Chain A
Amino acid sequence: MPALSRETPEGADLRAELLERFGRGLTPDWTEREFNDLALRVFSFQYGAVPLYRRFCDGRALSPGRVTDWTEIPPVPTSAFKRYAFHSDLHAVERIFRTSGTTRGRDGRGEHHVADLQLYYASLLPNFSARVIPDTPEPAVVCLLPHPDLAPDSSLSWMMHRVAADVRRQGGGFFLDPDRGLDVRALEAELSRLAAEGGAVVVAGTAFAFVSWLEESPSWEVDLPSGSVVMETGGFKGRTREVSRADLQAALSRRLGLATDRIIGEYGMTELLSQYYEPIRDVVAGQRVYRGPPWLRARVLDPATLSAANEGETGILAHFDLANLFSVSAVLTEDLGIAINGGFRLLGRSAEAEPRGCSLAVEEIARHARTADNHAAGDRT
């Protein structure tokens, strides 16, 4: 069996360095040069360790020797994760996370082959602690998500399970069954119990799950203790019903007895091991902007030039996540955002613009003959 990439000197050094740096937490922030140096080293490693990615870069005539800035590193489109596996060591993959595939069915699900869950864990915890619960050290964690035992390919479930294991006091849990839906009775009983107990609570779920809950028991309410936080993620992609974010926040505020500035957004993707949040302290201060940890950077691309969009203008989101060391770090999404004050405001995925004119796309013709669609957009589970 060949040596694992992470056991090579380059892979091992990078891994150790990243783990050490993630462990320092989010402060002080990294300089651009610090990030760039690490990003270029990670790119060099991935170029050598992930053959498909290397050939992709070669196709664009870009290689470590020709790239001097992390923004030049070729990003892999999220759609490619639906067809190909990107990893440095096939035999070392510890977990395969899959996108939800809500948009166009299960056949179009993207996969992230994760060869090092420890990097995932090391990345997520300091970020969550600093962005979501900086003033609430030991909350109970209540998830409108399936337990990872029921959804082993859900990166979100895995993440929240690790968070809960690390920060929770007794109580909380996972209240969504992939087959049977939300266990509303148990969820509400647990929230009532936690409210009576008095400690802060983190309530995490997808926007769609929250809406389902609100619809299923429209009049139920509770006053969660001070310091509690709602973390909403995921949007409504591919679902039958959508609610504006402001309406959802207002409804959750009434239901849980929290101010709307205790409701924050999380933006993560199956293809990334690090996450962005609307930091609770920013939100309380009146600013809703998504920010990542120092090892995750977003670019908002101008659609006309594909260079960085001007502050305040809508563009396409691309990410570079150093925690993706053993797959690919540069990922291009179909999500739109607006660069603001060092972070971005998330507009979500554009409903694909309607084809213009009377010309029927040939792929539509071909699609009639195929049930599988390899170009489904990826959601996170």
Chain B
Amino acid sequence: MNHRPDAAGGFRTWSLGEDLEESTWHTSGGVARLDPTAADVDRWLRGVENARSGAVLDVDRRIRCLGRIGEVFGDPQSDASRRALTLLPKNAGLSPEMAALVLERMASTWTPDALARLWDQHFLDSARVNGGSRQEPAGVSVLSPQLHIGPGSVPGVTLTSALRGLLLGAAVLSKPGAGDTVLTVMGREILERECPELAARWAVAHWPGSVDTVSTALHRAAALVVYGDNRTVDAYRAAAPASARVVEYGHKASAAVVGVSMADEASAAALAGAVAAYDRRGCVSPQVVYVVGGPGSGGSALWGRVVEWGGRVAGELAHLQARLPAGPQEVGTVARTLQTVGDLEMRAAAGEAVRVWVDPASAWCVLANGTGETLVVPQGRSVQIRPAETLDDAAEGLRSWGSRLQSVGLAVEGAQRPHAAARLKTAGALRVTTLEEMPWPPAWWRHDGAGGLEPLLVAPSDHWVNVR
């Protein structure tokens, strides 16, 4: 059942209906559709903040409580994980197999160990080193309450975001995107059972629409954490009062750099896995891969290797489609995909340096692109592979992405890795990692180059200004 917040100003979590076909549920996801007013949002923020002041929970307790979410979701035998896996595919538009993988990998970042490591990376103090309990960070305080606006269809991100705020002791109101309601709401339900006093400072509500309807309530939030496209981020930033800190996670894109000597079966499999994860919706899955041949390697020999490896990547995506299928696609998306693929095939027919491999049902696409320009590939599990004579050429190509560049997966000979990573950093990469780990950053990763926790803290000396 879903429950409206009661009129007294308290709140309850928004639960999931078992029957997603009920007309009372939002058709795209299985969460009650709400049309809150700004007064509703104001009351929810007030409610969680009031609950926060009602109970003191030390750091280790918070880690244990919050970590139960990861433990429960990570236990395939738990009722919660089984229920999540029945709801998640439809909610997020993923295949059941991909939903299971997503839940497994995301849950591993929500465990007590993962959260403790996240904390310790930021605040490891002498007490902890000496075997004592973790202490609240000195000299800073947490911004609270926080309003977290989750992305539309990358399941688990809203929950991860909420856990960061709750870990610091903040009160949080989460608005998951339509495709990320299941894990957020169920995470809240798990916490309610495991640690009601901590759950009391966390509300979850999904409502359709933009910031406009709730903008006057934003003054209540000390921090706004916003995921989404530029339009969404811009809208919240514009509506946020000067007193609120806006923490932005706008859309990004990721890439990979592979040394030609590493362009083998193993790297093809790793790349295919990174492309397939989340059906390439995450900003950390690669869209472009540069195969670096080395000085003097340009020309037909390198292009031949790119094509050969592209075929391998395509083969790996085909294998993955059998055991980790892509989610269903909307008919309009398929129509666009067919146009895009046909256009690429026509380029090849016209003699351009293009090779394309495509799934018969449009589930995936690999493009070997030697044209020297970035070409359009379909949404979803698609990647384009481009030759680059040198690492510098690849880095310059990525530099043109500007601030939109997120992660770069790197597969070069071991001795070259430090230099390559440094070069990619100067090109603007916010994260350099292996192909395998690209789509699965750990809990303590520095999302978009920032720490997971610092943006949610304030020092007494800080000015209360709107900080981008």
CB distance from A346 to the nearest CB of B (A): 13
Task: Report chain A residues within 8 Å CB of B255.
Answer: 362
**CA gap between A353 and B179 in the complex, in Å:** 14
Task: Report chain B residues within 8 Å CB of A78.
Answer: 339
Q: With an 8 A cutoff between CB atoms, is A84 at the interface? A: yes
Check B253–A356 contact: CB distance below 8 A.
Answer: no
Q: Which of B157, B288, B333 contacts A362 (CB 8 A)?
A: B288
Q: With an 8 A cutoff between CB atoms, is A366 at the interface? A: yes
Task: Report chain A residues within 8 Å CB of B105.
Answer: none
Q: Which of A53, A79, A349, A356 contacts B152 (CB 8 A)?
A: A356
Task: Report chain B residues within 8 Å CB of A314.
Answer: 331
Task: Report chain B residues within 8 Å CB of A369.
Answer: 400
| A56-B346, A334-B339, A363-B376 known; A358 vs B400 contact (CB < 8 Å) | no
CB distance from B318 to the nearest CB of A (A): 16
Q: With an 8 A cutoff between CB atoms, is B423 at the interface? A: no
**CA gap between A353 and B361 in the complex, in Å:** 17
**CA gap between A334 and B378 in the complex, in Å:** 14
Q: With an 8 A cutoff between CB atoms, is A243 at the interface? A: no
Check B331–A59 contact: CB distance below 8 A.
Answer: no
- Which partner residue on chain B sits nearest A309 by CB separation? B331
Q: With an 8 A cutoff between CB atoms, is B25 at the interface? A: no
Check B157–A358 contact: CB distance below 8 A.
Answer: yes
Q: Which of B317-341 contact A (CB under 8 A)?
A: 328-336, 338-341
Check B375–A351 contact: CB distance below 8 A.
Answer: no
Q: With an 8 A cutoff between CB atoms, is B91 at the interface? A: no
- Which partner residue on chain A sits nearest B360 by CB separation? A306
**CA gap between A299 and B250 in the complex, in Å:** 40
Q: Which of B359-390 contact A (CB under 8 A)?
A: 360-362, 373-377, 379, 384
Q: Which of B250-307 contact A (CB under 8 A)?
A: 250-255, 278-283, 285, 287-288
**CA gap between A359 and B382 in the complex, in Å:** 12
Q: Which of A58, A303, A357 contacts B153 (CB 8 A)?
A: A357
Task: Report chain A residues within 8 Å CB of B283.
Answer: 357-360
Check A356–B346 contact: CB distance below 8 A.
Answer: no
Q: Which of A336-381 contact B (CB under 8 A)?
A: 336, 349-363, 365-366, 369, 374-375
Check A56–B349 contact: CB distance below 8 A.
Answer: yes
Task: Report chain B residues within 8 Å CB of A84.
Answer: 346, 350
Task: Report chain A residues within 8 Å CB of B384.
Answer: 362
Instruction: From A75, A306, A355, A359, name the one whose CB has the most chain B CB atoms within 10 angstroms.
Output: A359
Q: Which of B151, B334, B350, B377 contacts A52 (CB 8 A)?
A: B350
Check A52–B404 contact: CB distance below 8 A.
Answer: no
| A79-B339, A336-B331, A361-B287 known; A366 vs B253 contact (CB < 8 Å) | no
Task: Report chain B residues within 8 Å CB of A366.
Answer: 373-374
**CA gap between A332 and B228 in the complex, in Å:** 33
**CA gap between A160 and B376 in the complex, in Å:** 37
Q: With an 8 A cutoff between CB atoms, is A77 at the interface? A: yes
Task: Report chain B residues within 8 Å CB of A306.
Answer: 338, 360-362
Instruction: From B285, B328, B339, name the one whose CB has the most chain A CB atoms within 10 angstroms.
Output: B339
Check A79–B249 contact: CB distance below 8 A.
Answer: no
Q: Which of A74-95 contact B (CB under 8 A)?
A: 75-80, 83-84
Check A355–B342 contact: CB distance below 8 A.
Answer: no
Q: Which of A59, A336, A358 contacts B249 (CB 8 A)?
A: A358
**CA gap between A357 and B347 in the complex, in Å:** 29
Task: Report chain B residues within 8 Å CB of A80.
Answer: 342-343, 346
| A59-B345, A358-B282, A362-B253 known; A304 vs B335 contact (CB < 8 Å) | no
- Which partner residue on chain B sits nearest A363 by CB separation? B376
Q: With an 8 A cutoff between CB atoms, is A202 at the interface? A: no
Check B281–A305 contact: CB distance below 8 A.
Answer: no
Q: With an 8 A cutoff between CB atoms, is A234 at the interface? A: no
Check B345–A336 contact: CB distance below 8 A.
Answer: no
Q: With an 8 A cutoff between CB atoms, is B440 at the interface? A: no
**CA gap between A362 and B254 in the complex, in Å:** 8
Task: Report chain A residues within 8 Å CB of B339.
Answer: 77-79, 332, 334, 375
Check A360–B334 contact: CB distance below 8 A.
Answer: no
Q: With an 8 A cutoff between CB atoms, is A55 at the interface? A: yes
Check B154–A352 contact: CB distance below 8 A.
Answer: no
**CA gap between A361 and B404 in the complex, in Å:** 10
- Which partner residue on chain B sits nearest A82 by CB separation? B343
Q: With an 8 A cutoff between CB atoms, is B207 at the interface? A: no
Q: With an 8 A cutoff between CB atoms, is B123 at the interface? A: no
- Which partner residue on chain A sits nearest B288 by CB separation? A362
**CA gap between A369 and B462 in the complex, in Å:** 38
| A56-B349, A315-B331, A353-B336 known; A358 vs B227 contact (CB < 8 Å) | yes
Q: With an 8 A cutoff between CB atoms, is A316 at the interface? A: yes
Instruction: From A52, A304, A351, name the one whose CB has the most chain B CB atoms within 10 angstroms.
Output: A304
| A77-B346, A360-B251, A362-B253 known; A336 vs B332 contact (CB < 8 Å) | yes
**CA gap between A357 and B287 in the complex, in Å:** 13
Task: Report chain B residues within 8 Å CB of A33.
Answer: none
Check A357–B346 contact: CB distance below 8 A.
Answer: no
Chain A residues within 8 Å of B, Cβ to Cβ: 52-53, 55-56, 58-60, 75-80, 83-84, 303-306, 314-316, 332-336, 349-363, 365-366, 369, 374-375
Chain B residues within 8 Å of A, Cβ to Cβ: 93, 151-154, 157, 179, 227-229, 249-255, 278-283, 285, 287-288, 328-336, 338-343, 345-350, 360-362, 373-377, 379, 384, 400-402, 404
Contacts A77-B343, A79-B342 known; 8 new A-B pairs at CB < 8 A? A316-B334, A333-B335, A334-B339, A350-B331, A350-B332, A351-B332, A357-B154, A362-B374
Closest 10 CB pairs of A and B: A357-B281, A350-B332, A77-B342, A360-B251, A55-B349, A303-B334, A366-B374, A56-B349, A353-B333, A303-B331
